[in-house]
A and B are shown apart, each in its own frame.
Chain A
Amino acid sequence: MVKRILVFSLLLFQLILTGGCWNRLEPEHYAWLSWLGLDKAEGGKVKIMTVVSPPLSPVPTGAAPPEDLMLTSSATGDTVFDAVRNINAHLPKRLFWPYLQAVVLSEDIARSGVEQHLDALFRNVRVRKNAWVFITRGPVDSVFKIDPQIERSPAALIDALVKAEQDFLGKSRVLRLKEFQRELASPGFDPVVSVLGVWDPKEEKVLPPGAKVPKKAELALDGSAVFQGDKLVGWLSPAESQAYLLGKGEMKTGLIAVPHPDNPQNLAGIEIIRSSSKLRAEIAGGRAVAKIEVKISANLGDQRFNAPGREAEDTDEDPDFYLKLGEQLERKVKSDLEKLAAKSQTTFDADIFGIGDYIANRYPNDWEQIQSNWRDYYKQAAIEIEVKANIAAANIMRSHPPRTDNQEQSGSAAGEE
Chain B
Amino acid sequence: MSTRLSTGGRNLNRAKQISFSFNGKQLKGYEGDTLASALLANDQMMVGRSFKYHRPRGILASGVEEPNALVNLESGPQFEPNMVTTTVELYDGLSCQSQNHWPSLEFDVGAINSFMGRFYTAGFYYKTFMFPRFAWKHVFEPIVRQSAGLGKVPKDRDGDRYEHFYAFFDVVIVGGGIAGLQAAAAAGASGAKVLLMEQGAHWGGRSMVDGGHVDGKPVAEHVAALLDALDAMENVTLRNRMMGAGVYDHGYVLGYEKLTDHAPEADGPKHRLWRIRAKQIVTATGALERPLSFSGNDIPGVMLASAARDYVERYGVSAGDRTVVVTNNDDAYRTAISLKNAGLEVPVILDARATGGGALAEEAKALGIRVENGKAIAKVKGGKRVTGVAICAQAGEGAVLEEIKCDAVAMSGGWSPVVHLWSHCGGKLIWDEDQAHFRPDTTRAPTSHDGQAFVTVAGSASGPLGLGDVLIDADAAGKSAATAAGFKPKKGDAPEGVTPEQAALEPVWLMPQGAGPKLRMKAWLDFQNDVKVSDVRLAAQEGYESVEHTKRYTTLGMATDQGKLSNINGLATLAGQLNASIPEVGTTTFRPPYTPISFGAIAGEARDEAFQPLRRTPIHDYHEDQKAFFEPVGHWRRPYCFPQGDESHADAVKREINQTRNSVGLLDASTLGKIIVKGPDAGKFLDMMYTNMMSNLKVGKCRYGLMCNENGFLSDDGVVARIDEETYLCHTTTGGAERIHGWMEDWLQCEWWDWKVYTANVTEQFAQIAVVGPNARKVIQKLGGDMDVSKEGLAFMSWKDGKLGDFDARAYRISFSGELSYEIAVPASQGRAFWDALMEAGEEFGIMPYGTEGLHVMRAEKGFIMIGDETDGTIIPQDLNLNWAISKKKEDFLGKRAQLRSHMADPNRWKLVGLETLDGSVIPDGSYVIAAGENANGQRNTQGRVTSTYYSPTLDRGIAMGLLHNGPDRMGEVVEFNKVDGTTVKAKVVDPVFYDKDGEKQNV
Q: Do A and B come from one complex?
A: no
